[in-house]
Structure 1
Amino acid sequence: MPHPRLALPAAGQGDDLSAFRHWLEAAIPLVPQLGIQDMHWQHDTLVWSLSLAPNLNDKGTGFGGSLAAQTTLIGWSWVTLWLRSQGREQNVVVADASQRFKAPVTGDYRILCRPEDPAGQAALAERLASRGKGRIALVQELYSGDTLCLTARGDYAVLP
């Protein structure tokens, strides 16, 4: 059964990310277990700060499955929040995703998510205006301290 949508923010106002996070935790049962401590924007980049403790593997480092889920989810959240800022309520799905693990995650970490192409937002807006649907490629980077531990890429589809 679908979870009720979060009401759109008032025109010209961004989302309250705390309210979005609480909605996300209610809408997707896995989210409260992921250790998200904070989410904020840095220009067109969505940043999540996460705790390592609920994402440990048997070696005491970050569990790849958790990290992959988090990179996919931050991308979905980026697109959902961007649509909401445009006054649009449309469904978003991940169409393709890949991760490259570069170093073990040994402490609390952060994930940054942004469009792969700086013109990606404008291109998506144009496709939505002309077709009512579209796609955008996003990249994610996971850092533990100053160490880049994982890079990821995902194509996210906005459905009509």
Structure 2
Amino acid sequence: MREVGIPHPRLSLPEPGQRDVPQAFLAWLSDAIPMVEHLGIHEMRWEGESLVLELSLVPNLNDKGTGFGGGLTAQTTLLGWCWTTLWLRERGYARDVVVAEATQRFLAPVTGDYRLTCAPESVQGPERLDERLASRGRGRIGLVQQLWCDDTLCLEAHGNYAVLPAA
């Protein structure tokens, strides 16, 4: 059971140049952030430079029988945090990541199981973050998250994630 004010132990870093196994990272994340196990996440995987979550709608229903905006917003924020954290871990960084700014635009109701994708807003974003980490020990990256029900884009979110300096 997690305790307030006590950080969760970090997951050991993968071998240099290797990616975490997303499902193993998700299992650790469910321990680190207790809410995660209640979000309806079935799968986490990489598709190129995009991190993808497959989710069930049932845990996120609102009073109208569609997706609850607050829960969907939490999921987009979490996915951006995961993308940034996993990207850092692949490069040998065990750093704290925080969301600095986030916006959402709801485009259509979420009426069934769905997938969330997350990728850099700019192709140069990861390279710029890498340069800032090397020169300043901290940095930020802009990410875009999209929620899809089949072929319908229901939600688009933008987040700015800050990588904090090493402790």
TM-score by length of 1: 0.99
Q: 1:117 aligns with which of 107, 118, 122?
A: 122
Partner of 2:153: 148
Corresponding residue to 1:54 among 59, 68, 72: 59
Matched, 1:29 2:12: no
Q: 1:85 aligns with which of 81, 90, 93?
A: 90
1:99 aligns with 2:107: no
Please report the RMSD computed on the Cα atoms of aligned residues, expressed in angstroms. Answer: 0.5
SS of the counterpart of 2:34? coil
Percentage of matched positions with identical amino acids:
64
Stretches of 4+ aligned residues off by more than 3 angstroms: none
Structure 2 gap segments, 5+ residues each: 1-5
2:23–2:45 Cα contact (<8 Å) kept: no
Total equivalences in the alignment: 160
Q: Cα distance, 1:16 vs. partner?
A: 1.1
Alignment correspondent of 1:6? 11
Between the aligned partners of 2:135 and 2:12, the Cα distance in structure 1 is 25
In the alignment, what sits opposite 1:135?
140
Paired amino acid for 2:157: A
- CA positional deviation for 1:12: 2.3
Query: Unaligned 5+ residue runs, structure 1?
Result: none
